[in-house]
Chain A
Amino acid sequence: MNGAIEPIVGRYVHVDIGGEMHRIYFEESGAGIPLVCLHTAGADGRQWRHLLADEEFTKNFRIIAFDMPWHGKSNPPASWDGSEYQLTTARYTETIRAFCRTLKMDKPVVMGCSIGGRIVLNLAIDHADEFRALIGLEAADFQAPWYDTAWLNRPDVHGGEICAALVSGLIAPQSPDASRTETLWAYKQGGPGVFKGDLYFYRVDGDLRGRVARIDTKVCPLFLLTGEYDFSCTPEDTKRTAAAIGGASVTIMEQLGHFPMSENPEQFRRYISPVLGEILKQSTQT
């Protein structure tokens, strides 16, 4: 509708990460239980805009999506000298914890997708008592590589085009064209080498095989949801991961791929609604 203003508000917060101040952009909407949303590799928080605009969810949740440094409207830190960007498990974990701490959130829920789903598992392993619940979308302790990331950042291949073209196959064929295009647009806009640098965490540094069995879902409930068309983090990858974790909830989402919240928001809503309902129920009981 012409003139409609969405309820989402965007602001910047200065966050000390690893001893250096970072200017972090975040968007939020709603009130209640803090729900922090983590975007996929090489993208930004816009992926969550439909969730943030959901009147039903924002009645009970303060939904917050921030752009990781180097992504979206969160610039690299002032000290960056142009050297190769590489996200590590330790750096990613510290960034999320610092953001939550700086905004003084009381036991937030964290929901991450793809690399965000992987780091959610690491939060569950090492920092479960800081969170009310953890939700991993397209999450697994490890997944087999299916292309050489060297193609993502080289002068003779257009970075935006190759990043978008590679991930385009991870979107379910049933997803609406406009949502598919919007999802890929973020990949076309990413900074040079940023997607590749995020995948350093995914492919090299963040292998959690053998560690996820330490997750105690009695301390912090864990929900894993994976789209049936995701051939990067396959449903089998997620099921294998969950099999090692007592009490983890697993859902395979039909007609969805690697970007459920942005590639087909209506279809994703059918799956995330009962999860948020369960978290709300558990929160009101305690």
Chain B
Amino acid sequence: MSSASDVTDAAIVQAFAAIPALLDRAPALIARGRLLDCECLLGPINHPFHVTIRAGRIVDLTPAPVLMRSWRFSYRASTVAWAEHWRAPPRPGFHDLLALTKRGEAMLEGDLHPFMAHLQYFKELLALPRHDFVGSGS
């Protein structure tokens, strides 16, 4: 991966679209989320996805906006933040979802209960593209 600032929103969106397939190949993570059913909004700040999770599996991932669709919580980060988060290894300050919120590169909104009650699940879910991401725009 080249400089994170070169990464395009389209590359991040493409990587997000691949997360359900990556999750299907991570049975331990699915097991961690076995009691989780949730609708949430995840992704880049300007191009997030509506994500439907049932028993730890993503059963639907649709680009927002969708007319009148609800979500419990939203975690959205800048393009640079996702590109840095998916470096292997990530740089200090970009290596954790809450490090990103602390530095103002990500926003956590809504009813946080499902996110906090399954925090390790969401940390691992949103790190899944790390080893496949090559999203340079160049």
Contacts and interface: CB of A to CB of B under 8 A. Distances in A.
Interface of A: 144, 146-147, 151, 156-158, 161-162, 164-166, 168-170, 172-174, 228-229, 231, 234
B72 interface: no
Contacts of A229: 92, 95
A177 to B, nearest CB: 13
Interface residues of B, number: 19
A170 B95 CA distance: 9
23 contacts: A144-B102, A146-B99, A146-B101, A146-B102, A157-B113, A157-B116, A157-B117, A161-B117, A162-B117, A166-B119, A168-B96, A168-B120, A169-B96, A169-B97, A169-B123, A172-B95, A173-B89, A173-B95, A174-B89, A229-B92, A231-B93, A231-B102, A234-B93
B89 A169 contact: no
Contacts of B53: none
Closest 6 CB pairs of A and B: A169-B96, A165-B119, A165-B120, A173-B89, A231-B99, A146-B102
B29 interface: no
Contacts of B93: 231, 234
A165 B116 CA distance: 9
Nearest to B101: A146
Contacts, number: 52
Q: Which of B117, B119, B120 has the most CB of A within 10 A?
A: B119
Interface of B: 89-90, 92-93, 95-99, 101-103, 112-113, 116-117, 119-120, 123
Contacts of A169: 95-99, 123
Contacts of B116: 151, 157, 162
A151 B103 CA distance: 20
Nearest to A231: B99
A226 to B, nearest CB: 11
A154 B134 CA distance: 41
Q: Which of B90, B99, B103 has the most CB of A within 10 A?
A: B99
